[in-house]
Each structure stands twice: as structure tokens, then as C-alpha cells.
Amino acid sequence: METVLFLAHTEPDGSLARPALEALAAAKAIPGTLVAGLFGAAAKPVAAKTFAVCGPEFAESRYSTDIAAAEAIAKASGASVIVAPHTSRTARALPGLAHRLNGRADTHVTGIKTDGGVIAISRWYYRQRMDAELERSERPWIILLEAGCGEPFAGELAGALEPVSVDPGALRTKAGGFQAPKSDQQTIRPDAELLFVAGAGWTKNQKDGQPHLEDAGRLILGFLHQTQASLGSSKSLVDLSGEGQQVLPFLTHLNQVGQTGATPRHPKGLSTCCHGEEPHVVGWRFIRERRAVNLDPNCGWARGKADVVYVADAFEVMAKVNALLGK
């Protein structure tokens, strides 16, 4: 029988963010005894036994304190399986924890199955092209579950906190603050319901033989502003700036979706002025409902890659959509 430890860092008020609640739901589904372990500025109980390493030293993301807290909790719990959300913080610290415990860690896990009592994880390889299912005999087994792959735990969070004391040691690394674009300039929104993809067609000569960059920028930003969708791009569009061509200034390579870009997870996607070639569409692997607007009825999306293709001028479609949204 496994002892399953749900391990996560907390938000400043002690609550759990959505990725942690998804990992909690996955941990609860594994047969065995469930215990929880939390570290951060503060913590609230989430399981009958919740080990907690709390204090201002553990509030910030810092390898030395995160791994010290995780190691103390893992040892106190005697866990054989540890399930944590895959965040930048856990991805940095928990493989080191596996080394300290002489266990194994798997990152970027997208699912956990327990058919017949045997734990198996799923994970993608080769830039999301191959889906593998893995079992491990080594323990403790640390599993970092990707966000957006399961439903968050929605039940009541209750139990008892069991404080674990940890010496944070010398704190040489200190966070000096956050540097982030203003929220209205931030176009990558991982939690958005919709991914809106702009392709290179937005910069091409249109019916009148001229490009319409300003109109394109206004239509795209207008749609994003009204829907709070996340903005993705094809590689061709973000590459244009390197070629000295006119570009949409709010796009960077961080927006690029595809084989050499990101593989975002949104329930829905709308592609505009993008041809839908395989190296781009492979980045849509986790987008469940796909629609595309393209002038070309023979574009890649029309060949089974989208659920719905509107053969239409995206400038006209998006102007109409924005007008309807504005009503």
C-alpha cells in the first residue's frame, strides 16, 4: 500500500492555486494513505494530516529553502509516492529532492492512472509527438503534474496542520521584486478559455494589393481586449521582424505556438490568417475545440486539423466579431 504525499507551495494567504488543486485531486485518486505537505508563508490544512513548513523564509521561490522544506516534509511523511503540481518552483527543486531521497522524479506528467492498483503516468516526448505511459518500481517516486490536465479538487479542504521545523540556513538568494509587462500589455494568458492565433496572413497584401498592418493590430488587440483570450502566433509571423519586414509590435517569439514554440492548453482555439501547417498545428495538441478563418479553402486546417473552418476574410470576420462583442 502506497503512502501518497500531496506536496505543494502555497499562495501568500496559505491557499492553494489551481495547479495545486489539480495535483491534489490526482493524488487523492491514487489508492493508499493520503497525507499532505505544504510550504510557503502560511498554510491551511488540506488533508487529515497536513505537514507544513511555514514562515517568511519559505514564502519566496528559492532552491535552498524549497528543497529543505520538501525534504523535511517527505521524510516526516515517509511517503512512497509524491504528487506535486508542475510549477517553475517545484520543477527546479523536486528533482534535487529525488536525488537526496535516492528516489526518482518525473516532470511534465500529464496524467496518472491506477488500473489494477499499478500506478502509471503519461508523458509526452519529442515535442509532444509521442505519448508514453510509464511505471516505476523505484520509491519514493516524485510526480510533477502539468497544469490544465485534470479537474481541480472542489471538495472541502479540512484536516489538521502538523508543523515541521526546518532550518532555512544562510539565505544568500533574495527576490528583489517582480518585473512583468503591464497586465493590458500581457498577451499570453495561460488560463484563458480561448487561444487566438494570428498568422502571417495578417501582414500580407490584401484584396487591394496593400498590407493593412494598423487595421490588423487594431482588430487583434480589440478582440483580445474584449475576450481576454491568449494570443498565439505562427512562426512565420514572429520571424518577420528578423527579416526587417513590417510586423505587429506586440508579438514576440514567446507567442509562437508549434513544434519549435509553445504547446498551450486552452479549451478552445481560433486561428486566423494562418495556414495550419503541421509544424504549427502540432502545438495545438491540447486545444480541444479548433476553429480557423482562412481565405484558402485548401489550407491545412481544412484537411482535418480544425473542427470548423470559415473560408472568409479574417479582417472582415474579426471586424464583425468585435462589433458584436462590443454591443
* Interacting residues with ligand FAD (CB under 6 A): 199-201, 204, 206, 234-237, 256-261, 273-275, 277, 279-280, 283, 293-296, 299, 313-315
Kindly tell me which of 62 and 235 has the beta carbon lying closer to ligand FAD: 235
| Closest CB 130 distance from ligand FAD, rounded Å | 17
Kindly tell me which of 37 and 300 has the beta carbon lying closer to ligand FAD: 300
| Closest CB 231 distance from ligand FAD, rounded Å | 13
Kindly tell me which of 77 and 234 has the beta carbon lying closer to ligand FAD: 234
Helices (H) and strands (E) in the chain, counts: 7, 14
Kindly tell me which of 176 and 249 has the beta carbon lying closer to ligand FAD: 249
C-alpha cell at position 327: 454591443
| Peptide bond preceding 168 in cis form (omega within 30 of 0) | no
| Closest CB 65 distance from ligand FAD, rounded Å | 36
Q: Is 180:186 a contact under the CB 8 Å cutoff?
A: yes
What is the number of other CB atoms lying within 10 angstroms of the CB of residue 309?
A: 21
| Closest CB 234 distance from ligand FAD, rounded Å | 3
Kindly tell me which of 106 and 277 has the beta carbon lying closer to ligand FAD: 277
| Closest CB 296 distance from ligand FAD, rounded Å | 4
| Closest CB 90 distance from ligand FAD, rounded Å | 26
Rounded-to-integer distance, Cα 295 and Cα 277, Å? 15
| Closest CB 114 distance from ligand FAD, rounded Å | 35
Kindly tell me which of 62 and 275 has the beta carbon lying closer to ligand FAD: 275
Kindly tell me which of 100 and 204 has the beta carbon lying closer to ligand FAD: 204
Q: Is 42:55 a contact under the CB 8 Å cutoff?
A: no
Rounded-to-integer distance, Cα 278 and Cα 257, Å? 11
Residue with cell 497544469: 147
| Closest CB 257 distance from ligand FAD, rounded Å | 6
Q: Which ranges of the chain would DSSP assign to H, the alpha helix?
A: 18-28, 63-77, 88-101, 213-227, 235-239, 278-281, 314-326
Kindly tell me which of 6 and 315 has the beta carbon lying closer to ligand FAD: 315
Long-range contacts, 111-116 (Cβ 8 Å, 24+): 111/149, 111/150, 112/26, 112/29, 112/30, 112/83, 112/143, 112/145, 114/29, 114/30, 114/31
Q: Is 314:201 a contact under the CB 8 Å cutoff?
A: yes
* Cα atoms in the 13 Å half-sphere on the side-chain side of 160: 2
